[in-house]
Structure 1
Amino acid sequence: MATWQSRGLRGSTLEELLNRTNEQYQEKHLALVQKIPTPITPINFDKETRHITLAYFDQKSTVDYIGAVQGIPVCFDAKESKTDTFSLQNVHEHQVRFMEAFERQRGISFLVIYYSGRDEFYYMPFCDLKKAWDRKEAGGRKSIPFNEIDTRYRIWPNRHGFLLPYLDALQLDLDGREEACSP
């Protein structure tokens, strides 16, 4: 059983931006995307601050977000990298398998990656993640260097009045899906 201990604000800024963006998308009737909570069993609880300080994960989580965008099912995970190399250790096998199964059901799976050292956000289509994952599984590189990131999928904060408007990148993914994801 995995344990969880507080790691401060790690990842919370990205998730907060995505949560607020998803609220904006819902308010504008563009999308309905929700954060999927990870089920935990609390072990230690700080009574003063009312915070959980130690817990066990009840089960493996799937992805961070699931929803629909204009009738298209989507699922994605939010990841952060402090360096220009995105470690595939940040992605778990059960997440890749879930995203793969989601795609087989005609859904769209992707990552939103925040490169905190650059202060830049990117959308990574599932097919790009899968290529890197398969390379790792075959004994190759266990990370994705920044120069392999498709910069067309950069997410520009505060564009169109949205905090982190990933729908632009989703549209780009949809438009080029057949050519980009072919073997």
Structure 2
Amino acid sequence: MQYPNGRRSSANSNKFTSKLTTYSNRGMTLEEDINETNQYYLAHNKAIVHKKPIPIQIVHVDYPKRSAAVIKEAYFKQASTTDYNGIFKGRHIDFEAKETKNKHSFPLNNIHQHQIDHMTQILEHDGICFLIIRFQARQETFFFPAEKLLIYWKDQFSDGRKSIRYETVKKEGYIIPVKYQAKVDYLDVIDKYYMKNGGRSNGR
């Protein structure tokens, strides 16, 4: 496995495959729910939202048989930004989806600086940017505006908390309703709190 600086990982191909599987399946329940929701939005012409592909450059592939291919060497071309983006009622929407087993808070180490930089740029261009946070133990999913996230992100470097309390997420975010066809109906939140005054509201 190679990274953008050109260094090759010492991990063998089996470990590489294992890591790909581990990271791709992390939070899969939430990801599947969002993907199904996005398919519903697309089928009913409500919005166009897609999951961003992981920017991996494949260098070497073995073909042990015609029906299978095994990646032997690859590297990340660049750091990924957020999980999803698209358009809804003329506004660009961009968001990251995270699950946590922590019942009482959302650890900020689930987010990275390059993602914060990307979110900041989206907000500067009047896009709608947010986190979808699922507390697994509570089976509750929240829409948490990036504007709020940026405040807590900066505070952690000034002796602030390294996490956002569940109570804070609940107070400053929005519970996402669970519906039969739209399992994570985040557009319902955007419609209520961001589409006022001709679609120029920035939430509360």
Cα 1:75–1:128 change in 2 (3 A) is same
Are 2:91 and 1:57 aligned? no
Shift of 1:119: 1.1
Are 2:94 and 1:71 aligned? no
Which residue identity does 1:72 align to in structure 2?
R
Are 2:145 and 1:93 aligned? no
Instruction: Answer with 145-154 or 21-30: which moved more.
Output: 145-154
Which residue identity does 1:129 align to in structure 2?
L
| TM-score (normalised: structure 2) | 0.76
Shift of 1:118: 0.9
RMSD: 2.7
Cα 1:135–1:173 change in 2 (3 A) is farther
Tell me which structure has the larger Cα radius of gyration: 2
| In 1: Cα distance, 2:132 partner to 2:85 partner | 13
Return 5+ residue gaps in structure 2 as ranges.
10-15
| TM-score (normalised: structure 1) | 0.84
Cα 1:45–1:125 change in 2 (3 A) is farther
Return 5+ residue gaps in structure 1 as ranges.
none
The corresponding residue for 2:130 is 110
Q: How many corresponding residue pairs?
A: 179
Are 2:47 and 1:31 aligned? yes
Q: Deviations over 1:13-65 (max 9, x none)?
A: 11111111111111111100111011124578796985769853221011111
Give the conservation status (yes or no) of the 8 Å contact 1:125–1:173: no
Instruction: Answer with 166-175 or 116-125: which moved more.
Output: 166-175
Percent identical among aligned pairs is 33
| In 1: Cα distance, 2:178 partner to 2:69 partner | 33
